[in-house]
Structure 1
Amino acid sequence: MPSKRKARRGKVNHDIDKRKLWKKLKKRPVLKCKEISAFWDKTKTLQQNLKDMGLAYDANRSVQMPGKKPAVMEEMAIKPKVPEVLESMETEVALGEKEKRFLISGDDVLFCTHMMDTYKDNYKAMARDKRNYFQLTPKQIRDKIRSFKRSKTQYQAYLDAKKRTDGMDNEIMES
């Protein structure tokens, strides 16, 4: 009786050209950085391209760690052949990142505002509330409220509305 572990010979598919398949697999990676892709030389290797642009391929070789033996910093000593890449990357860093807009759904906004108005920071009481349809735990409610506070535009609108209603309440009590 043959062994169960015995490997079976694979079937040969004569419709596939193995050379073309190999060329498809050998494609170069897609570069997301505009500055690097503009000056990329397809005839050179990755290490050669980065070295020409003044970028480090291996950070351990290019940056000397304190307390180690003095090492030859060969990659950083060489001046870049294409300094435009470094200059354009530095200007992009100086501009800063775009502010990411983080929003949550309208239902979650209503849920969070109701809970915060009713219970302040008492998450255990929030978990027992009848509007907690999905039976969220106190920690899940806390995380949902934290994400609501992270959405700056929605949270600021809530604070403005709350400030307006608090001002109206004070005027009614005074009169």
Structure 2
Amino acid sequence: MPSAKKNRRKTINYTNKKKMWKKVKQKTQVHIPCEQIKNSWDSKKTVKQNLSEMGIAVNPNAVLPIPKPYVFPTIIAEESKPVVVKPTVLKEMELEAEQGEKERNIKLPADNVLFCIYMLDKYKEDYKAMARDKRNAYQLTPKQIRHEIREFKRSKQQYQKYLDSKREQIVNDEVMQT
């Protein structure tokens, strides 16, 4: 005799369906990182329609085509430029671009700072020699050391302290020599 479990009808858990639908809905929504575009986005329109209303090109190749070496002379019909309905978006984006990137305050651990200072004082910009140094305990490659030093130079406060101390040393050395 066949078991009763095989013929049993499967039930649907509707709470699960709701959760699944929420996930599907989240995936289909457009993720826009730019605040100006996000505020003026119309979800009832297509991406192309939204961007053309804002004056933003969907396809850069259509706006600035690559010139061909030789084009046969033909009559070219005038292309109509898209009408910018929402010019404020472009203005806000231009203002944001003029301001530049926000300064990041990077603060490195004291061990990394001391390592970078020692290497810069001893070897200047010779990363291969830095990689062979005995203080390179973690056996960093020259590229890894260069990356560490670049991070140190990006940390404004710590690098500025290093430069100030170097200037003081130079001034003290000049005073001692005179």
Q: TM-score, normalized by length of structure 2?
A: 0.71
Q: How does 1:9-158 map to 2 (within 5 A)?
A: 14-15=12-13, 18=17, 21-22=20-21, 24-27=23-26, 28-67=29-68, 77-158=81-162
Partner SS state of residue 138, structure 2:
coil
User: Counterparts of 1:19 and 1:101 in 2: how far apart (Å)?
Assistant: 44
Number of residue pairs aligned between Structure 1 and Structure 2: 162
Distance 1:142 1:66 in 2: 41
The 3 A distance-change label for structure 1 pair 23 and 46 is farther
Sequence identity (%): 45
Runs of 4+ in 1 over 4 A off after TM superposition: 16-20, 68-74
Quick one: distance in 2 between partners of 1:55 and 1:78? 10
Give me the TM-score of the superposition, normalised by structure 1. 0.72
Residue 111 of structure 1: CA displacement? Answer: 0.6
Letter in 2 for 1:31: I
Kindly state the Cα deviation for residue 85 of structure 1 after the two structures are TM-superposed.
Answer: 1.7
Aligned amino acid, residue 127 of structure 1: A
Instruction: Return the offset for 1:156.
Output: 2.4
1:125–1:54 Cα change, 3 Å:
closer
RMSD: 3.1
User: What one-letter code is carried by the residue in structure 1 that aligns with 2:12?
Assistant: H
| CA distance in structure 2 between the aligned counterparts of 1:67 and 1:159, rounded to whole angstroms | 53
C-alpha separation in 2, matches of 1:44 and 1:120? 58
